[in-house]
Amino acid sequence: MSSKRRRSRLEVSAKILEVLANETSTKIDLMYKARLSFQQVTVFLKYLLEREFIKEVKIGQKSAYEITEKGGFFLDYYSKLQELTKLKTEPSR
């Protein structure tokens, strides 16, 4: 049995936003960096664009994506939620 589990919509969205927080990226770059198929990245980009978490920009003749301020807020809140729900690995004393 594989130890891999499906990532939630929030996890995948956050991963894409993490990539874009570091650099403007094309769809192909996002596929590799977020480990998504072309179909998956297309669906998630549409989802994030509709919510204004990212915006499309042109680099030469290529389309690329950048995180927006709203996307940055989402990523901050998501990170805080991850910290709050993290299990402690150290034993209690």
Of 67, 62, 22, nearest to 48 by C-alpha is 67
- CA dist 59 and 80 (Å) reads 33
Q: Which domain holds residue 35?
A: 9-82
Residue 17 has pLDDT above 70, yes or no: yes
The pLDDT of residue 79 is: 92
Q: Please give the average per-residue pLDDT across 2-22, as a whole number.
A: 88
Q: Please give the average per-residue pLDDT across 2-27, as a whole number.
A: 90
Domains identified in the chain, total number: 1
Residue 89 has pLDDT above 90, yes or no: no
Total-model pTM: 0.84
The CATH number that applies at residue 46 is 1.10.10.10
The pLDDT of residue 1 is: 44
The pLDDT of residue 74 is: 96
